[in-house]
Structure 1
């Protein structure tokens, strides 16, 4: 009966080597993970955060403070939940029918939403949702609004979309596994309804924030552990090619950089959506990445949850670094400073975390 195990081995090998997968992996040079050293030395400053229960909602992936002093957050159900700074008076402000991710308030009081499924949306103060643009851009992730009224948004991938590939987490996983770097930064002009590409070539373009002088954009590139500074007037700039209009502000970070927000004092905050893992070891082995996708997800080695957010200045100096190595934090995608608190975004938790973080307000730096 030797043929039975032999046949089983042949079938398994054929499955791992030949079964179709949705990615066409690209070889790339991943830098060696630095670990938690220097400005990112391991600490427990984020351990033991306070919790605001969301009453059944899950995944406050991004949080923004509104002009009314209340907090707004998009959750997995497609709802945008509004609440007081202490978490009281929670209500559904609007529902997009998709997955609201990054958000920013426009000068007219409307809430602009980068929805990973529905695209770029505007929510009126009465909660009415309308689409912006032609609806062609998909897997939008983060949004920032300039004083000119122009809207800047990250498109994480043009290859994988949450609508077609099982949600935002699955689409992001496929994009990072493939490394084809099709992410973009787009500009939408409400006056002309024109959409243009500012920069291209990102491996999972993610968080976005404007510089104080409104001449540049900070963009987190999750798939290659970087934060960029991109000239606002760039046009279809390929970040894979050297250009004076693109500067890597942070390189080889210890985790996957995610949301970017600006505090009232001008400080920029960045969340890390997970630690680096063994994926780096397969950077030059595309075939192995294809094989991994053929293995059932429940057999994947799940990384230990690791909470991590950091604050930095526009010069690239790390000003604060908060971590929770205890494995109790949900996926910390970002942080928002408001009402004397630092609210911790997360993509998979059933609560909104916060710690006391009093930062002086300087209104001239308070951009979305």
Structure 2
């Protein structure tokens, strides 16, 4: 009996070791070299300007909603938002009269309106959609040639009608891998940088690649003159500018002095998400999570990233909650940094700025947070 117990224990330990070393995982991590984290210094010095948000319930018709991931003031004067259930809601700007506007059967992450008043939606599971004023859904594109669009993330409609949007990852689609958050974790852990920027031309009904080679391509915005795109590369803590006229540009080979694209903001203290144009030239970005030294420490150790996925999810090095939204100008100057170190309003993805309010976007918040516009002058 005394020999049986140690042998059984040894067998269990060997099985556990073999599991941690050999169990198949979906990622094939590559080495990358993150910049040294400067932390909350300089323009990002700690503050509590995002604390104490006012809250608007998103519940309607007896249905509980959460996750106002993207918010836009529509041409009809109503406030529209996507939520985790897959619905698109609309309401009065003061948060009253919440109602369901449309359901796509997928999960819309970003959207914009075209000149005809159609809502153009980046549905992470279905592709780029057009939703008319009656809520009828039409798929505009879900392929680039023979290549499927796996993870449609954000979209912006240009003055000429072209629709620029991001395909966050060609490796991990939200529908195939259990949802948007799960797929994003896999893509960022792998760092294979398959994210890309696409453009759909409604006149010719064609879809082209603008740029590729991004580690989770996320939020997108246009410059004031419409010539350049700003794109958040979530997995590498930075924001690019890209000439909107280029096609099939590989960002992994772009030189620092290139006239086609460049890094506008680098070494951010968190993971950048949505990009939203605000007032007075401001562009808002949300840092959905702060950086994590454990994650950065595994950047040059692919084996450890494989091992991480073999651990229980509760043991993954998930960054701590930290509310943070930032406004910058087109030249990269930081002009606002609103923070809540408690992270009481979770996963801040950006700000929708109107004349009266700052609506705070969130991946998982149970309601819609907002501050009066005067908060920017504090």
**Considering the TM-score relative to the shorter chain, is it more than 0.5?**
yes
Cα distance change of structure 1 residues 65 and 315 upon mapping to structure 2, 3 Å threshold: same
Q: Show the counterpart of 1:187.
A: 199
Q: Any conservation in 1 of the 2:79–2:93 contact (CA below 8 Å)?
A: yes
Q: Counterpart of 2:174?
A: 162
Does the 8 A contact of 1:199 with 1:236 survive in 2? yes
Shift of 1:264: 3.7
Q: Once structures 1 and 2 are overlaid, which stretch shifts more, 192-201 or 125-134? A: 125-134
In structure 2, do the counterparts of structure 1 residues 302 and 242 end up closer, same or farther at CA, with 3 Å as the change threshold? closer
Structure 2 counterpart of 1:285: 301
Structure 1 position 324 matched with structure 2 position 340: yes
Q: Runs in 1 of length 4+ with deviation above 6 angstroms?
A: none
Q: In structure 2, what is the equivalent of residue 121 of structure 1?
A: 129
Determine whether 1:83 maps to 2:71. Answer: no
CA displacement 1:297-316 (0-9 Å, x = unmatched): 02335432100001010011
Q: Does 1:111 align with 2:116?
A: no
1:254 corresponds to 2:269: yes
Alignment equivalent of 1:204, drawn from 216, 220, 234: 216
State the alpha-carbon separation in 2 of the partners of residues 295 and 122 from structure 1: 41
Residue 230 of structure 1 and its aligned partner are, at CA, apart by 0.4
The residue that corresponds to 2:16 in the other structure is 12
Please provide the CA RMSD for this pair: 1.3
Name the SS for the 2:280 alignment partner. Answer: coil
Count of residues paired in the alignment: 360
Q: CA deviation at 1:256?
A: 0.1
Mark the runs of 5 or more structure 2 residues left unpaired by the alignment.
none
What is aligned with 1:269? Answer: 284
Q: Distance in 1 between matches of 2:375 and 2:196?
A: 32
Alpha-carbon distance in 2 for matches of 1:105, 1:150? 12
Q: Is the 8 A contact 2:111 2:154 kept in 1?
A: yes
Q: Cα offset for 1:358?
A: 5.1
Q: Work out which of the two has the higher radius of gyration on C-alpha atoms and give 1 or 2.
A: 2
Q: Residue in 2 aligned with 1:242?
A: 254
Are residues 1:99 and 2:107 paired? yes
Structure 1 counterpart of 2:364, from 322, 327, 348: 348
TM-score by length of 1: 0.96
Q: Which moved more, 1:108-117 or 1:262-271?
A: 262-271
> Given the superposition, is the C-alpha separation of residues 88 and 339 from structure 1 closer, same or farther in structure 2, using an over 3 Å criterion?
farther
